[in-house]
């Protein structure tokens, strides 16, 4: 398999992108696709998932892409040049990195650690501090683009960490990203992701009200979309979710349960930095309303469900 060759010299860390030993921890909706891209790029891939059956299913679905599966994060990191995580929350990330059987127990001195989980800036900073003694290059690298972006390899990644760490990680991230931005020091990637989620939630709240308003006013929604989608109101959400929201279709990936987790992280961080987020707090409660309607696993565009539609119960 042909592999793009490039050498990045970051201080005392020469990193070759040709056939690196990469261990990927967490094979959920996003992680499974990112791991696939790394395997297809020709890297020697080790995979780990807390539920071993999921790791085995991934290996069977992608024959030849993984050189091995691991039974623990520490086993996965043993011999790795790079460890990448995409797990659930702060506790999950702490367990797979800093726990008794965590990856930091065995990841070699000078190795690269990249985290794609959306977590608090606090845990990202803690992991970077813990990595210093082993001279690890740690990058908090949450992503935007959803399941479709992960599948297509067109994710946008916001990175926190030292310049050396982000530049070392960049050729690896290129396997599944169309945009990689170094936004600041450790934890800054996570803070940027919080801002991203605030923008997303606000856009969906406005779009939900606009669609319900138009339906209740008996507007032709196709004509409305034609009229407003090319102007200042245009957004990715309008282009991709306007018609599905109007049709009450909400099976498009990122779930409301996860959005509430992310907005909770933003609200916590805001209290720490002295920022006021009244709209974010309000929309978070709107999402709680949809959860109460049984929509926690529906995608975030289901926010429209809380708004009454004339002629419908």
Residues 89, 207 within the same domain: no
User: According to the model, what pLDDT value does residue 8 have?
Assistant: 41
Residues 221, 288 within the same domain: yes
193 is catalytic: yes
Q: What is the 3-state secondary structure of 126-180?
A: HHHHHHHCCCCEEEECCEECHHHHHHHCCEEEEEECCHHHHHHHHHHHCCCEEEE
Mean confidence (pLDDT) of the chain: 93
Residues 46, 113 within the same domain: yes
- Whether 17 shows a pLDDT value over 60: the answer reads no
Residue 17 lies in a domain: yes
* Confidence band, pLDDT 50/70/90 cuts, at residue 5: very low
- Reported as half-sphere exposure (CB side, CA atoms, 13 A), residue 34 has a value of 35
Residues 204, 176 within the same domain: no
Q: Write out pLDDT tens, residues 199-228.
A: 999 999 999 999 999 999 999 999 999 999
Residues 34, 100 within the same domain: yes
CA-to-CA distance for 202 and 197, rounded, in angstroms?
Answer: 8
Q: Are residues 104 and 97 in contact, defined by beta-carbon separation less than 8 angstroms?
A: yes
Q: Are residues 83 and 76 in contact, defined by beta-carbon separation less than 8 angstroms?
A: yes
Residues 211, 295 within the same domain: yes
User: According to the model, what pLDDT value does residue 10 have?
Assistant: 40
> Once rounded to an integer, what is the mean pLDDT over residues 161-170?
98
Residue 227 lies in a domain: yes
- Whether 9 shows a pLDDT value over 50: the answer reads no
Crossing angle for the helix pair 188-216 and 256-273, to the nearest 10 degrees: 120
Identify which of 58, 18, 60, 53 has the alpha carbon closest to the alpha carbon of residue 34.
58
DSSP, residue by residue, 264-301 = HHHHHHHHHHT---HHHHHHHHHHHHHHHTT-TTSBGG
User: According to the model, what pLDDT value does residue 310 have?
Assistant: 85
> Once rounded to an integer, what is the mean pLDDT over residues 184-205?
98
User: According to the model, what pLDDT value does residue 6 have?
Assistant: 37
* Confidence band, pLDDT 50/70/90 cuts, at residue 14: very low
* Confidence band, pLDDT 50/70/90 cuts, at residue 134: very high
Residue 2 lies in a domain: no
User: According to the model, what pLDDT value does residue 2 have?
Assistant: 33
Please state, for a pLDDT cut of 70, what percent of the chain lies above it: 94
CA-to-CA distance for 181 and 55, rounded, in angstroms?
Answer: 30
- Whether 184 shows a pLDDT value over 80: the answer reads yes
CATH number for 80? 3.40.50.720
Domain boundary among 125, 152, 185: 185
CATH number for 224? 1.10.1040.10
> Once rounded to an integer, what is the mean pLDDT over residues 129-151?
95
Residue 196 tokens, joined: 């991203």
Residue 1 lies in a domain: no
Burial of 98 (0-12, 13-18, 19+ CB in 10 A): middle
Residue 89 lies in a domain: yes
User: According to the model, what pLDDT value does residue 312 have?
Assistant: 66
Domain boundary among 129, 157, 185: 185
Burial of 185 (0-12, 13-18, 19+ CB in 10 A): middle
- Whether 313 shows a pLDDT value over 60: the answer reads no
Domain boundary among 185, 219, 247: 185
Residues 152, 234 within the same domain: no
User: According to the model, what pLDDT value does residue 253 have?
Assistant: 82
User: According to the model, what pLDDT value does residue 193 have?
Assistant: 98
* Catalytic choice (193, 223, 261, 312): 193
Q: Write out pLDDT tens, residues 19-76.
A: 899 999 999 999 999 999 999 999 999 999 999 999 999 999 999 999 999 999 999 9
Domain of 44? 7-185
- Other Cβ atoms within 10 Å of 57 Cβ, number: 14
Please state, for a pLDDT cut of 90, what percent of the chain lies above it: 90
Q: What's the number of domains the chain is made of? A: 2
């Amino acid at each position: 398999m042909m592999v793009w060759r490039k050498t990045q010299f970051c201080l005392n860390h020469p990193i070759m992108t040709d056939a690196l030993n990469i261990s990927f921890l967490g094979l959920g909706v996003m992680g499974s696709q990112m791991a696939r891209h790394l395997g297809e790029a020709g890297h020697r891939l080790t995979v780990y998932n807390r539920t071993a059956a999921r790791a085995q299913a991934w290996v069977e679905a992608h024959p030849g892409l993984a050189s091995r599966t691991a039974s623990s994060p520490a086993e996965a990191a043993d011999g790795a040049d790079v460890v990448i995580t995409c797990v659930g929350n702060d506790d999950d990330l702490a367990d797979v990195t800093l726990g008794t059987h965590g990856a930091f127990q065995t990841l070699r001195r000078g190795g690269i650690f990249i985290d794609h989980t959306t977590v608090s800036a606090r845990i990202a900073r803690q992991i970077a501090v813990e990595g210093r003694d082993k001279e690890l290059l740690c990058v908090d690298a949450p992503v935007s683009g959803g399941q479709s972006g992960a599948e297509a390899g067109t994710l946008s990644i916001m990175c926190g960490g030292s310049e050396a760490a982000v530049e070392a990680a960049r050729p690896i991230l290129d396997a599944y990203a169309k945009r990689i931005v170094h936004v600041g020091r450790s934890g800054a990637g996570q803070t940027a992701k919080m801002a991203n989620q605030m923008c997303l939630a606000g856009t969906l709240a406005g779009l939900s009200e606009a669609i319900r308003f138009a339906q209740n006013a008996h507007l032709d929604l196709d004509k409305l979309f034609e009229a407003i989608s090319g102007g200042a109101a245009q957004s990715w959400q309008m282009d991709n979710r306007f018609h599905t929201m109007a049709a009450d279709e909400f099976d498009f990936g990122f779930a409301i349960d996860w959005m509430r987790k992310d907005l909770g992280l933003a609200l916590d961080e805001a209290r720490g930095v002295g920022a006021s987020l009244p709209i974010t707090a309000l929309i978070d409660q709107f999402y709680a309303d949809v959860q109460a309607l049984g929509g926690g696993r529906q995608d975030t565009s289901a926010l429209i469900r809380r708004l009454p539609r004339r002629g419908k119960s």
